[in-house]
Amino acid sequence: MSEQPKIKKMIKFTNQFVSISRFLLFTLFLFSCYTQVWAQDSTKVKKWHFLAEPYLMFPYMDGETGIDNALILPVEANPSDIFSHLQMAAMLYFEARTGKWAITTDLVYMNLKQDVTSGKLISSGKLNVKQTIWEVAGFYSIFSFWEVGVGGRLNYLQTEHEVHINTLPIGNTKTETGNHNETWFDPVIKTRFLADVKDKWLFQLIGDVGGFGVGSKLTWQVQGYAGYRFCKLFQLSAGYRYLSTDYISGEEPKEFTFNMSEFGPVIRFGFNF
C-alpha cells in the first residue's frame, strides 16, 4: 500500500512534466514563427546591412615634419623599421548600408618612435609620433558598381623630438628637445568601384581628394582590395593603401610642416551582420 502513493505521485509528476514540456515547445514554436515573420517584415522596411572590419596595415612612411626651416626632420621608414618602434596601433572600419546609401567610418591610431635620419645639420635623434585619423563619409550608388560620396578626415598629430645638432667647432653637438600638437579637418570628395562575383569574390577600388586649404593644402588617397566571403558572417580581404598629406600651419619662421606619404599592404577581417 505504501508503494501506491509513490507511484501515483510519479505518474502525476510525469504528466505535469509532459504538459509543461508541450507548453514550452508550443510557445517556442510560436515565438520562432513570430520572430521570423517580424524579421522578414523589418528587412522589407529597413534592409540595413552592417560591416565591421578590424584591419592591419604594414606601412611605409616617406616625407618630412618639423617646425621652421632650420629643424625639418626627414622621415623615411619601411615596415620593419616601423614595427620595431611601434608602441600601439588600432585600426577599425565600419559601414552601414541601406538601399542606394552607405555611411562609412574609418579609425586609425598609431603611436611610434622613429630614429631621425642624420645629415649635415643633425647628428642623430629620435622622433615620437602619435597620430589619429578619423574619417566619416557618405556614399550614393550611381550604378551597382559605382558610388560617389563626400566626407571628411579629422587628423590629430602629436610629435615629440630629441635631436643632436652639429655645431662649431666640428665635432661638437647641442641637444634640442620639443613637442608639438596639431588638429585639423580635411573635407574630401570620394568615389569607389565595387564588384561582387557570385556573392563570394569581392573587389573594391577607392579614391579621394581633399583638403583644399581648409586643413591640408592637399590630401589624397587610393585604396584597392580583393577579398573572399567564406560565409554570410565572415570575409577576408587584402590590398594596398596610399595616403598623402601636405599640411602647413603657422607663419615663418615657426610654421609647422607635415608633408608625409603613408603607404603599404593591408589585411582586413570583415564581419557582416
pTM above 0.85, yes or no: no
**Which percentage of the chain shows pLDDT scores above 70?**
80
Are residues 182 and 154 part of one domain?
Answer: yes
pLDDT score of 87: 65
Measure CA 17 to chain center: 53
Mean pLDDT of 34-44: 49
Are residues 27 and 11 part of one domain?
Answer: yes
Are residues 22 and 62 part of one domain?
Answer: no
Are residues 179 and 154 part of one domain?
Answer: yes
Are residues 52 and 1 part of one domain?
Answer: no
Residues in CB range of 74: below 8 A, 6 or more apart: 63, 64, 116, 117, 119
CATH of the domain at 187: 2.40.128.100
Is 256 in contact with 245 (CB distance < 8 Å)? no
Are residues 236 and 135 part of one domain?
Answer: yes
Are residues 6 and 93 part of one domain?
Answer: no
Q: In degrees, to the nearest 5, what angle opens at C-alpha 44 toward C-alphas 150 and 195?
A: 45
Provide the 3-class DSSP secondary structure of residue 169.
Answer: coil
Are residues 74 and 204 part of one domain?
Answer: yes
Provide the 3-class DSSP secondary structure of residue 273.
Answer: coil
Binned at pLDDT 50, 70 and 90, residue 230 comes out as: very high
Instruction: Indicate if the alpha-carbon torsion angle 157, 108, 60, 225 is positive or negative.
Output: negative
Are residues 62 and 132 part of one domain?
Answer: yes
Final residue before a domain boundary, out of 46, 65, 80: 46
pLDDT score of 32: 47
Are residues 213 and 118 part of one domain?
Answer: yes
Asked whether residue 178 carries a pLDDT value surpassing 60, the answer given is: yes
Mean pLDDT of 190-213: 96
Number of separate domains in the chain: 2
| Cα 205 from Cα 216, distance rounded (Å) | 23
Are residues 109 and 35 part of one domain?
Answer: no
| Cα 164 from Cα 233, distance rounded (Å) | 53
Are residues 184 and 128 part of one domain?
Answer: yes
Domain that includes residue 42, residue range: 1-46
